[in-house]
Structure 1
Amino acid sequence: MEKYTVSSDSSDEEQRYSSSSKEWSKSSDHADEIVEVNGFQVLDSQLTQVMAIFEKHPDMASDFNLENQQLRNAYMGVLLNLIITLCQPPTDLTMDDLNKADRTILDLTKAGLKLHWLRQKLDEAFQKEEKQREIKAQIRSLEEKVKKRKLSLSDIESDLKKQKPAALAAETPFDFSDIV
């Protein structure tokens, strides 16, 4: 199993890649080298992530049979972007993000990538989102109860302030002049 090889004599077309909002190209002086990992050409800066994927999930691409190198690279780029999306804090992920990730995993799986491990993480993200919604609803409910009780307490304090003068008046003894 070939881990990776540096691809230095790639054509210009193979060296240009666009996926989502990321672009890479050899035209820049600071451009990464293109490295091949298990038949996928990736940027040298992505090597660690791609190697980690294949080390943990060596059969991930065993049913992935696309011959077009650009498409293979694009699929890997989409997979990496998807993983980056799922690495965001749960508070930054919207339900729309999770639904898009779900559709993306479905598409990647249809193409032949074995992503059961990523599906599990997405399911966990959905569960976290649901839990977060439940907790936020509970917080709103508790805040409403606190607000109502504060208003009730305020009303009771107001009544107490009104009763104190009456209580003081009832406790005042009669004066001699009041009786005579």
Structure 2
Amino acid sequence: MVKETESSSESSSDEQRYSSSSEEWSESSEDVNKIVEINGFQVLDSQENQVKAIFEKHPDIASDFKLKNQQLKNAYMGVLLDLIMTLCRSPNELTMEDLNKADRTVLDLTKAGLKLHWLRQKLDEAFLKKEKKRAIRARIRELEEQVKKRKLNLSDLESDLKIQKAAALAAETPFDFSDVV
């Protein structure tokens, strides 16, 4: 169910909207913001495709979501969208703190009645990727240290080899007439 409405600052100075991109509550701007209603959630038209995709892939996501307060419902959807965008970031950009915060957020959204087993699975995968990356980095450091030690050892061996070759060459050199006399 998609329903479009428009909101402007003329309608009420107390009117607020949730801006998921800034994660802050802000006063309605003077510009007319196009609000789209999708399955009982009012979102900005710029978020319409994302919210539709969520409901298409997970039609039962809000079947147990019982909040009646429209602002709270919209805020929960904004938090969900932010959470999804967090998980879309590069593993290099994601910190364990980000993942732990996301984990708590999924728990809160689930307690509110959203069915997020699919998002929990992706979050678990992100944790595993982060842990695997940490383990790989540790192994790389370990290997680099081994290579460094072996290069030093090889350098020492090469130096000993040069000394032994020089000694062998000196041992093979015949005496000169002047050396004997």
Return the TM-score normalized by structure 2.
0.89
Change (3 A) 1:172 1:32: farther
Deviation at 1:16, TM superposition (A): 2.1
Post-superposition CA distance 1:1-27 (Å, at most 9, x none): x2x110126854555224572457652
Aligned with 1:27 (options 26, 29, 38): 29
In the other structure, the counterpart of 2:103 is 102
Q: 1: distance between equivalents of 2:59 and 2:15?
A: 24
In the other structure, the counterpart of 1:89 is 90
Would you say how many aligned residue pairs link Structure 1 and Structure 2? 177
In the other structure, the counterpart of 1:142 is 143
Q: 1: distance between equivalents of 2:172 and 2:68?
A: 99
**Contact 2:18 2:75 (8 Å CA) reproduced:** yes
**Contact 1:40 1:72 (8 Å CA) reproduced:** yes
Post-superposition CA distance 1:73-124 (Å, at most 9, x none): 0000000000000001111111111111000000000000000010010011
**What is the root-mean-square deviation of aligned Cα atoms in Å?**
2.0
Equivalence map 1:8-157=2 (5 Å)? 8=6, 12=12, 16-19=17-20, 21-22=22-23, 26-29=28-31, 32-157=33-158
Q: 2: distance between equivalents of 1:66 and 1:14?
A: 19
> Tell me, what secondary structure is at the counterpart of 2:91?
coil
Q: Please list every run of 5 or more consecutive structure 1 residues that lacks an aligned counterpart in the other structure.
A: none
**Contact 1:15 1:34 (8 Å CA) reproduced:** no
Deviation at 1:42, TM superposition (A): 0.3
Q: Please list every run of 5 or more consecutive structure 2 residues that lacks an aligned counterpart in the other structure.
A: none
